[in-house]
Amino acid sequence: MITIRILLLSFLTLGFVGPARAQGTAGNQADAEIEKEVLKVEHQKDEALRNRDVAVLDQIYADDLAFVNARGKVITKAEHLDEIRSGQINYLSREQEDYRVHVWGDTVVLTGREKSVLEYHGKVTRLPRQFTTVYIKRNGKWRYVAHQVSPVVDQ
């Protein structure tokens, strides 16, 4: 059966990896458990990005990661990790909100808005960005398999 539950979350991730606050209707227990697991990995990933902890990111990111940055460029896992290691991407703050989690068994699609302040190749950007992230459970672990970002354009 297709089971979908949308969870709306709003929180600051800067120095905060606390319990997720769910809003809206409750889904089934299995989905709620999956959401919790995936958000835990998502928070670990964010903390690793802040701390430039490439070893943790290497474990969470799938080797075949499909990553499209806000400039519409395809980046491989190795290139992305290298940008973090070298400081070409440097998170000055991380702020994410409006998380929506769509659970499809062992595949989870997460969308949200990022307002992090980011230094990218020496340029500071504060523009809000909308992202889609896909997690897939392989061998008992949730892996970050796809991520795409778009700048939010004023309507």
Partner 1 sequence: MRRILLLSFLSLALVGPAKGQGTARTQADTRIQREVLKVDDERGQAMLKLDLATLDRLQADSLVVVSAKGQVLDKAQYMEQVRSGSMKFLTWAMDQRRFHIYGDTVIVTGRATSVMEVQGKINRTPRRFTSVYIKQQGQWRLVSHHSTVIAEQ
Contact status: 63 vs partner 1 (CB under 8 A): yes
C-alpha 81/C-alpha 52 separation (Å) is 9
Phi, psi of 125 (to 5 degrees): -125, 135
C-alpha 79/C-alpha 95 separation (Å) is 23
Q: Which C-beta is closer to partner 1: that of 31 or that of 46?
A: 31
DSSP string for residues in 23-66: -S----HHHHHHHHHHHHHHHHHHHHHHHT-HHHHHHHEEEEEE
Q: Which C-beta is closer to partner 1: that of 47 or that of 95?
A: 95
Which residues 73-132 are close enough to bind partner 1 by CB under 8 A? 73-74, 100, 102, 104, 106-107, 109, 111, 128-132
Work out which of 33, 64, 87, 121 binds partner 1, going by CB under 8 A: 64
Write down the least CB distance from residue 51 to partner 1, Å.
26
| Contacting residues toward partner 1, per CB under 8 A | 2, 4, 6, 62-64, 66, 68-74, 100, 102, 104, 106-107, 109, 111, 128-132, 134, 136, 138, 145-146, 148-153, 155
